[in-house]
Amino acid sequence: MSNLLSVMNDGYEIPSIGYGTWMVPDAESEALVREALEAGYRHIDTAMIYENEVGVGKGIARSGLPREEIFVTTKLWITDMNDPQGALTTSLRKLQLDYVDLYLIHWPAPKVNLYAKAWDALIELREKGLVRSIGVSNFNPEHLDALKGSGVTPCINQVEAHPSFPNTEVITANTAQGILTECYCPLGRGKYLTSPVLSGIASHLDATEAQVVLAWHLSKGYIPLPKSATPARIKENLDVQKIELADEDIAAIDSLATGRKICADPADFNG
Ligand SMILES: NC(=O)c1ccc[n+]([C@@H]2O[C@H](COP(=O)([O-])OP(=O)(O)OC[C@H]3O[C@@H](n4cnc5c(N)ncnc54)[C@H](OP(=O)(O)O)[C@@H]3O)[C@@H](O)[C@H]2O)c1
């Protein structure tokens, strides 16, 4: 299956759906990453803090696919913001890679106040060829604005977004600066998939509720990163690229917004 691609503001392409690996234990991640790659994913999202880069790296290495066919993202954790090159070197060793396609600052942590300095370091890592594209995660508009002095706009801002928490203010700021939005928790961790609105659209399209939600992300130009440890769902979540939602379906899904986050609370990490 060929993957839809989005184009980032540095000209590189990124597959429009990624396989998320948070909460995938290291010991299981090799098999699940291989399962995802066999199902057709070409975009894998991990992070140092997920403690599964070794298993993810084995899954990539043993997939038999050429390195350049797989888009790999990892992330710089808050406690490493003083030494991004050291952190990336460790991640690359664990992943068995010479470079990652995308390196993200995981959280801005404004009270630590190192994210602008870390951003300058990511620009240097890109110049050294250790990362191809650079971006951020969990950045609010004011954090994005604080990077403007660097002269380099992030390619990606990875944030929580799903129908019940559409995160409109942040995504509007991303779009205004030419930053693509990656959505974590794209299925709302599976908590709202029983909505009658989703079920109605799903039965009409002969799809599942999860596929309807992922098609909603694609209709908005977002890049969802669904995680599943279940082989049938891994396949199902990629098999959405041909689903076209009608305008009235998109409007009905938009109406499910409650404004409540269900994933990480920024207060936990932004201190
Ligand atoms: N940047 C950040 O701060 C940040 C934060 C959180 C997450 N992330 C990234 O985003 C990825 C996705 O987020 P997430 O894992 O929190 O949430 P998610 O993808 O919205 O939800 C995962 C949950 O949904 C279930 N699920 C998956 N596919 C399904 C389907 N087709 N039907 C029904 N249930 C389904 C999974 O169950 P099973 O596994 O049992 O199938 C799992 O319990 C993460 O893995 C990670 O890569 C980034």
| Structural domain containing residue 158 | 5-190+221-243
Task: Tokens for 62, please give them.
Answer: 């043993």
pLDDT tens digits, one per residue of 21-49 = 999 999 999 999 999 999 999 999 999 99
CB atoms within 10 A of CB 256: 18
Averaged pLDDT, 106-129: 97
* Residue 216 belongs to some domain of the structure: no
135 in a domain, yes or no? yes
Select from 156, 103, 96, 92 the least CA-distant residue to 127.
103
In a domain, residue 266? The reply is: no
The pLDDT, as a whole number, for residue 17 is 98
Closest C-alpha to 18, from 48, 42, 47, 52:
42
- CB of 74 closer than 6 angstroms to any ligand 1 atom: no
User: Domain for residue 229, yes or no?
Assistant: yes
Q: What's the CA-to-centroid distance between 36 and ligand 1, angstroms?
A: 14
Return the exposure string of 205-227: e unless at least 16 CB atoms fall within 10 Å of the residue's CB, then b. Answer: bebbbbbbbbbbbbbbebbbbbb
Q: Helix, strand, coil shares of the chain as percentages rounded to 5?
A: 45, 15, 40
Looking at residue 192, what is its pLDDT? 84
What pLDDT does residue 266 have?
65
pLDDT at 2: 76
Edge to edge, the sheet with strand 71-76 lists 19-20, 43-45, 71-76, 100-105, 131-137, 156-160, 180-184, 223-224
Does any domain span residue 250?
A: no
Residue nearest (by alpha carbon) to ligand 1 atom 48: 184
With the most atoms of ligand 1 within 8 angstroms of its CB, the residue from 167, 187, 195, 230 to mutate is 187
pLDDT of residue 268: 67
41 is catalytic: no
pLDDT tens, 168-225? 999 999 999 999 999 999 999 998 899 999 999 999 999 999 999 999 999 999 999 9
Residue 14 belongs to a domain: yes
DSSP state of 186: T
Summarised one tens digit per residue, pLDDT across range 210-261 is: 999 999 999 999 999 999 999 999 999 999 988 999 999 999 999 999 999 9
**CA 159 from centroid of its chain's CA atoms:** 8
Does the pLDDT at position 70 exceed 80?
yes
pLDDT score at 153:
98
Provide the pLDDT for residue 270.
65
Mean pLDDT of the chain, nearest integer? 96
Task: Tell me, in angstroms, the distance from the centre of ligand 1 to residue 228's CA.
Answer: 6
Q: What is the mean pLDDT of residues 127-155?
A: 98
Predicted model pTM = 0.98
- How many CB atoms are located within 10 Å of the residue 128 CB? 10
pLDDT of residue 111: 94
- CATH number of the domain enclosing 38: 3.20.20.100
Q: Which of 12, 19, 41, 50 is catalytic?
A: 50
Q: Quick one: DSSP state of residue 189?
A: G
pLDDT at site 44: 98
CB of residue 262 inside a 6 A radius of ligand 1: no
With 60 as the cut, is the pLDDT of residue 271 above it? no
Handedness of CA 109, 111, 116, 119 (dihedral sign): negative
Whether residue 179 lies inside any domain: the answer is yes
The count of structural domains within the chain is: 1
* Residue 256 in domain: no
Q: Is the CB of 18 under 6 A from ligand 1?
A: no
Please return the burial class of 81, using the count of CB atoms within 10 Å of its CB with bins 0-12, 13-18 and 19+.
buried
Indicate the SS3 state at residue 134.
strand
